[in-house]
Homo-oligomer: A and B are copies of this chain.
Amino acid sequence: MASEELDSVDKGILYLLQEDARNNTTNAIGEQVGVSSSTVANRITKLEEGGVITGYHPTIDYEQTGMGHHLLIIATVPIDDQEEIVDDLVHVPGVVSVSELLTNNANLSIELVGQNKQEIEKSIGEMSGLGVDIERMDLLKRIRAFPYNHFGKEFTNEDDTG
């Protein structure tokens, strides 16, 4: 039920959701991919239940929110404790995303925000207390996310006059 292949309708839906997951209505999506709105709703439900779509999140420009500091941290944790530590990292103030890597060294990529250096240092301190060994830490200039561009634009009516 989960890892079934996606057909062109699913791919088109995913593509359009990646463009705007909040304001793209099932109606509009249906018109773009050539099915009715109820079909779109059914498909989306299945994609959610099947674990393909795991959530919907806004992309936030932290600099606009007073979070002057936005960092990307590469760190190492013991593999056996990786999951547990990541669970704890959720509760560290300022940590907004964590990517787990399948390596021994530098197996964690952590996105951290804070209003000032004090907040950052406090978060760093908490992370260290959890057993996170920071390898490097760089200022984030910008993050860009885009629809997986071969996911289904071909299955929509969108015009690419770029």
The chain A residues found within 8 Å of chain B, CB to CB, are 2-3, 5-6, 14, 17-18, 20-23, 50-66, 72, 74, 82, 86, 90-91, 93-103, 106-107, 109, 113, 136, 138-146, 148-150
Contacts and interface: CB of A to CB of B under 8 A. Distances in A.
Question: What's the number of copies of this chain in the assembled complex?
Answer: 2
Contact of A2 (B55, B64, B95): B64
- A-side binding surface: helix, strand, loop or mixed? mixed
B21 A58 contact: yes
B113 A66 contact: no
Contacts of A18: 57-58, 60
A90 B144 contact: yes
A93 B51 CA distance: 23
A85 to B, nearest CB: 12
Contacts of A57: 17-18, 21, 56-57, 59, 145
Contact of A58 (B53, B100, B106, B143): B53
Going nearest first, the 7 A-B pairs with the smallest beta carbon separation are: A22-B56, A102-B139, A100-B141, A21-B56, A101-B138, A97-B145, A55-B59
A81 to B, nearest CB: 14
B58 A17 contact: yes
A61 B47 CA distance: 10
